[in-house]
A = this chain, B = another copy of it.
Amino acid sequence: MSEPHVVVVGGGFGGLATVKALKHAPVRVTLIDRTNHHLFQPLLYQVATAMLSPAQIASPIRALLRHQRNASVFLAEVTGVDTARRRVCVEAADRHGCIPYDFLVLATGVHHSYFGHDEFAAHAPGLKTLDDAVAIRNRILHTFELAETEDDPRRHPDLLTFVLIGGGPTGVEMAGAIASLIRNTLASEFRRVDPRSARIILVDRAPRILATFSEDLSQAAHARLAGLGVEIRLGHAVDCIDDRGVVVNGERIPSRTVLWTAGVEPSPAGRWLGARTDRAGRVVVQSDLTVPERPEVFVIGDVAACEQDGKPLPGVAQVAMQQGRYVGRTIVRRATGGAPLAPFRYFDKGSMAVVGRNFAVLQSSRFRLKGWPAFLAWAAVHLEFLAQSSLRASVFLQWMWAYVTRQPGSRLIVQHHTSSPAARREELHV
């Protein structure tokens, strides 16, 4: 009898942890991802704000698994699962096909959601992929270039107003990073427009930012952001986003750059499996992370709905990694005829958010920290969890360099738009 075939879908934190936990197991593993790289999402906002380049937070999945001889990597898009015949349906390049499995692990994550307002998408990009990050970086940098070539100062305000929808960690980190980029770097590089005249507005419908953190940390982050010049508008959802800006609480804020960090929705794993989902669409799993009545199918990470002590587990990297390792060990037990593991339990190592330069908030079940010490802890933890030691060195050196010189790492505008049919004809006074 040949070795059981484990198919893992998704090369994020959860999927990669599963595959690595199977390194010495008597199984064949196939990891399917639609991209060729594992993305370190916690630093994605630094790509979007020009501190890091895409290559510094993305590791080729093949490189990460090159010494694991029982693992293959497949660049393909999953389109469905045939649970009865135990096959995953994929599209790879110009071909369709099915891949049979003995065990299936779905770690397909989430993408951003506009809560039924899909018309917002065209005007307010979200931040989940490298492409998103590069598009946002282009947009932020290009906006200043537009303002520099714009002779009519009445058009400057909406060009240089950045609106971030969502006051969670991503929104807060983006706002702080944009403020730092402007103050520390762009301020000295323009001759006709003053980048410091830019406005950064953070909008959230909750009564405070960083709502998952304790109230004192949330207040500290609020004060710090305000000190960086970020305007924070709480208690009202955004009513409308269009090509002229946003409307919040009846007030129109003209802006050419609106970014969406307010919400996510799960990938369609629930639909593929025909499994029960929670209200958000995440697959409800059992205490061993399998789907009811499908003991060979596991769902982990952001796409799984998993409760612990009556509360849902958060959608963070730590949960996915711990679940991945658990599922790996479970499959080893099953493949070797061992006793089942105790139910999965998440160990909370804490969560953090960074606010501009040198300031972060950190909260775990045991302690809370803010300011410079929390920032150092944040930096150390993020460096530690980068998947490749080369990236660890590279990101560390980039941060040090930027700290000393105030020159961030990657400020390319990859695409720009110089002409349009409706162009105005006018004299530029240079």
Chain A interfacial positions (CB closer than 8 Å to B):
5, 7, 30, 34-37, 53-56, 58, 60, 62-63, 65-66, 71-77, 90-100, 130-131, 141-142, 145-146, 148-150, 185, 188-192, 388, 390, 393-394, 397-398, 401, 405, 407, 409-420, 422-428, 430
A191 to B, closest residue via Cβ: B72
Separation of A417 and B75 alpha carbons in the complex (Å)? 10
Query: Distance (Å) between the CB of A61 and the closest chain B CB?
Result: 9
Query: Distance (Å) between the CB of A2 and the closest chain B CB?
Result: 12
Chain B positions within 8 Å of A150 at CB level: 95
A404 to B, closest residue via Cβ: B390
Of listed A75, A390, A428, residue having the most chain B CB within 10 A: A428
CB pair B425 A96 closer than 8 Å: yes
Q: Which of B35, B60, B76, B426 contacts A149 (CB 8 A)?
A: B76
Chain B positions within 8 Å of A5 at CB level: 430
A410 to B, closest residue via Cβ: B55
| With known contacts A92-B149, A189-B62, A100–B416 Cβ distance under 8 A | no
CB pair A418 B66 closer than 8 Å: no
A415 to B, closest residue via Cβ: B131
CB pair B423 A94 closer than 8 Å: yes
Chain B positions within 8 Å of A428 at CB level: 90, 92, 95, 97-99
Chain B positions within 8 Å of A90 at CB level: 428
Query: Distance (Å) between the CB of A417 and the closest chain B CB?
Result: 6
The A interface is mostly helix, strand or loop, or mixed, namely mixed
CB pair A416 B91 closer than 8 Å: no
CB pair A423 B55 closer than 8 Å: no
CB pair B394 A390 closer than 8 Å: no
CB pair B36 A131 closer than 8 Å: no
Chain B positions within 8 Å of A423 at CB level: 91, 94-96
Chain B positions within 8 Å of A405 at CB level: 390
Separation of A141 and B417 alpha carbons in the complex (Å)? 28
| With known contacts A53-B55, A55-B410, A75-B149, A30–B430 Cβ distance under 8 A | yes
| With known contacts A55-B53, A66-B188, A430–B92 Cβ distance under 8 A | no
Query: Distance (Å) between the CB of A304 and the closest chain B CB?
Result: 24
Q: Which of B34, B63, B71, B420 contacts A418 (CB 8 A)?
A: B34
Query: Distance (Å) between the CB of A80 and the closest chain B CB?
Result: 13
CB pair A149 B93 closer than 8 Å: yes
Chain B positions within 8 Å of A401 at CB level: 390, 393
CB pair B92 A418 closer than 8 Å: yes
**What 6 A-B pairs come out closest when comparing CB atoms?**
A97-B428, A53-B55, A55-B410, A62-B189, A75-B145, A92-B149
23 contacting pairs across A/B (C-beta < 8 A): A34-B418, A36-B145, A36-B412, A37-B411, A53-B56, A55-B412, A58-B412, A60-B412, A62-B190, A66-B188, A73-B189, A75-B416, A75-B418, A93-B420, A95-B149, A95-B150, A95-B425, A96-B426, A97-B427, A130-B414, A131-B415, A390-B405, A394-B398
